[in-house]
Amino acid sequence: MRNLLLKLVLFALPLSGPLQAATLNERIESLGANVIFMRHALAPGFGDPDNFDIERCETQRNLDDQGRAQARDIGTKLKTTGLDFDEVLSSQWCRCAETADLLDLGHWSTFSGLNSFFQGYADREQTLEKLDVYLNSLSGSELVVLVTHQVVISAATGISPPSGGIVLYNSKTQRSESWRW
């Protein structure tokens, strides 16, 4: 009996990935989401060092091995959905850029409208204005991935995701909801 139960559990495990992917697709469709906000993957610590330089990764808080694995895993899960992403944008911070790269969703580029204003390294009002202009430029029919910081996602959606967290967002209705795998 125990062997049979183990076989049933093992048989069911591979189904969990596609079922989760279908659920994400359903949530995107239900919400009319055209934006997937993603907080950068795990980068231990808090804020950035005092010697922060946007051009030098060694002066920033960066992903660790667990964060890199998390970003790859999320990218794999996103790819299994079969969704087509029209654009992938990242904050200029190295932890976001590395997350975007490790997602492996195709070409991506940086966008200053996703930069962190947490410690004042970027101006909050200017950053959010750039993001607002971008979000308002979306027609609603595309699907974009925006890799950014907790403060940016919170300001735009009212939701504070964990590292690697995803928030689905409809740029026309401004409705949003958290997504967990």
Residue found under tokens 């909050």: 124
Q: Measured between alpha carbons, how far is 131 from 117 in angstroms, rounded to an integer?
A: 13
Q: Measured between alpha carbons, how far is 33 from 167 in angstroms, rounded to an integer?
A: 10
Question: Rounded to two decimals, what is the model's pTM?
Answer: 0.88
* Amino acid of residue 58: E
pLDDT tens-digit map of 129-159: 999 999 999 999 999 999 999 999 999 999 9
Cα-based distances in Å from 138 to 33, 34, 127, 169:
11, 8, 17, 12
pLDDT tens-digit map of 90-107: 999 999 999 999 999 999
Question: Which structural domains are found in the chain, ordered by start?
Answer: 2-179 (3.40.50.1240)
- DSSP type of residue 103: H
